[in-house]
Amino acid sequence: MEDKVELTSMVTILNQLYKDGYKHNFKVSDDGRLCTLDGQEQFTPEQVRIVNFYRFEGETNPGDEAILYVLETNSGIKGTVSNAYGPYADEKVEAFMKQLEDLGKELDK
């Protein structure tokens, strides 16, 4: 049986992902494309795959709930995008992610 490793924060995971080559931060533009923060690279859902994702739950405040998506583009750019969970979620990010393959994990489609 595999030992469980507790990852305590999004920062911990982001630091590990950065070491693993996921160095870009993404956002979803108003036109519904995933793009690098500088806007130089843009991708449609067909050009992106979810490598993994992590959910974070606040101990006392539901507003602290978040999800971190680990992404790779067909051009080899690797990075992450985060979103709040529930009523605080960014609808653009949520809509984009629902168009991607879900790795067999439940993404509330």
Q: 38: domain range?
A: 10-97
Q: Does some domain include residue 2?
A: no
Q: Does some domain include residue 105?
A: no
Q: What is the mean pLDDT of the chain?
A: 85
Distance in angstroms (rounded) separating the CA atoms of residues 10 and 68: 8
> How many domains, the chain?
1
Lowest mean pLDDT segment, chosen from 37-41, 42-46, 54-58, 69-73: 54-58
What pTM was computed for the model?
0.81
Q: What pLDDT is stored for residue 25 in this prediction?
A: 96
Q: Does some domain include residue 71?
A: yes
Q: Does some domain include residue 108?
A: no
**What mean pLDDT is predicted for residues 11-24?**
94
- Residue 98 near residue 50, CB atoms below 8 Å: no
Does pLDDT of 109 surpass 60? no
- Residue 26 near residue 90, CB atoms below 8 Å: no
- Residue 31 near residue 43, CB atoms below 8 Å: no
Burial track 26-53 (b if 16+ CB lie within 10 A, e otherwise): bbbeeeebbbbeeeebebebeebebeeb
Q: Does some domain include residue 106?
A: no
Q: Does some domain include residue 80?
A: yes
Confidence of residue 87 (pLDDT cuts 50, 70, 90): confident
